Amino acid sequence: MKRVISFTKMHGAGNDYIYVNTQLFPLPHPEKWAVAWSRPHTGIGSDGLVLIGPSETADFSMRIFNADGSEALMCGNASRCIGKYVYEYGLTDRKDIRLETLSGIKHLHLNTKEGRVESVTVEMGMPQNIRETDLCGIYPGKGIALSVGNPHLVIFVDDISTVRLEEIGPQLEHHPDFPDRVNVEFAQIQEDGHIRMRVWERGSGITMACGTGACATAVAAAFSGRCGRTSRITMDGGTLTIEWNEEDGQIRMTGPATRVFDGEIEIDE
């Protein structure tokens, strides 16, 4: 039996996902469709699949599946896009939204103008388990490991253009310290709280941006004394502003969310 699924393609700073409202379009076996639809030539093309659903503890829920079908705990860029989706598609008229994720409830504040969401601020929670870690000979020097809802490894370099991310990323993703694999960020400190970053996401590979990766990089920079508590993180797809609040320890991420197009796709059940 065939069934038509409506979807929306969205991106946050170039980190693009396929969004499905599961209240209208239930989607069994989402890991299967994440793999098939993420393919650029035979599918829709994306970094993965995001399911927007109901929640008993928040306003909405999010499940996110990487391009390889693995389920992620959290995605900051996807969270911002969900805020834009539920507001502009009339699922809510609230500008402060609680979103249930596998790493806890996240709070979204929508910055709107003339009925459109221009940017979204996400309370990402507090960083956990910040520590320096050896890179086991995979890459010179040491990295800073931490969790911001999912695991990250941040490596500061003098010249980010020399990093062969496509080669070193897969090796570091499977670093022995991370049995569940890890997201990898290479970062170069610039000036005035500005950091240039590139990311290798576990399960997806090189992506244009990573919201939790930007948060991890900002925290690692402040933790190691390289920057203050507020940073601008520029990735291949755009720039996010990250604040690691000294009073409450919360990370707050502000950035854009963009709808690319709506579409329909047929599935076999």
Q: What is the pLDDT of residue 1?
A: 83
State whether 99 and 141 are in the same domain. Answer: no
Q: Do residues 10 and 237 lie in contact, with contact meaning Cβ atoms separated by under 8 Å?
A: no
Residue 193 has pLDDT above 90, yes or no: no
123, 124, 125, 127 alpha-carbon torsion, rounded to 10°:
-140
The total number of residues written for the chain in this structure = 269
81 classed as catalytic: no
State whether 133 and 118 are in the same domain. Answer: no
Long-range contacts at 61-64 (CB < 8 A, ≥ 24 apart): 61/99, 61/100, 61/101, 62/99, 62/100, 62/101, 63/30, 63/102, 64/17
Can you read off the two tokens belonging to residue 69? 């079908």
DSSP line for 136-204: TTSSSSEEEEEESSSEEEEEE-S-GGG--HHHHHHHHHT-TT-TT--EEEEEEE-STTEEEEEEEETTT
- Residue range 47-60: mean pLDDT, rounded: 98
State whether 155 and 175 are in the same domain. Answer: yes
State whether 230 and 173 are in the same domain. Answer: yes
DSSP letter for 43, please: S
State whether 177 and 138 are in the same domain. Answer: yes
Please, what sign has the CA dihedral across residues 172, 165, 153, 17? negative
Can you read off the two tokens belonging to residue 109? 């504040």
Q: What is the pLDDT of residue 123?
A: 95
Domain count, the chain: 2
210 classed as catalytic: yes
Residue 171 has pLDDT above 90, yes or no: yes
State whether 150 and 181 are in the same domain. Answer: yes
Residue 106 has pLDDT above 90, yes or no: yes
Q: What is the pLDDT of residue 192?
A: 82
Marked catalytic residue, from 75, 81, 215, 227 = 75
Marked catalytic residue, from 81, 210, 215, 227 = 210
Q: What is the pLDDT of residue 37?
A: 98
Q: Give the separation between CA 115 and CA 138, rounded to whole angstroms.
A: 49
Domain of 178: which CATH number? 3.10.310.10
State whether 204 and 105 are in the same domain. Answer: no
State whether 67 and 167 are in the same domain. Answer: no
Q: Which domain holds residue 162?
A: 128-249
- Residue range 187-193: mean pLDDT, rounded: 90
State whether 66 and 118 are in the same domain. Answer: yes
With cut-offs at 50, 70 and 90, classify the pLDDT of residue 111.
Answer: very high
State whether 104 and 24 are in the same domain. Answer: yes
State whether 22 and 61 are in the same domain. Answer: yes
State whether 132 and 245 are in the same domain. Answer: yes
DSSP letter for 269, please: -
Quick one: angle between helices 76-88 and 211-223, nearest 10?
130
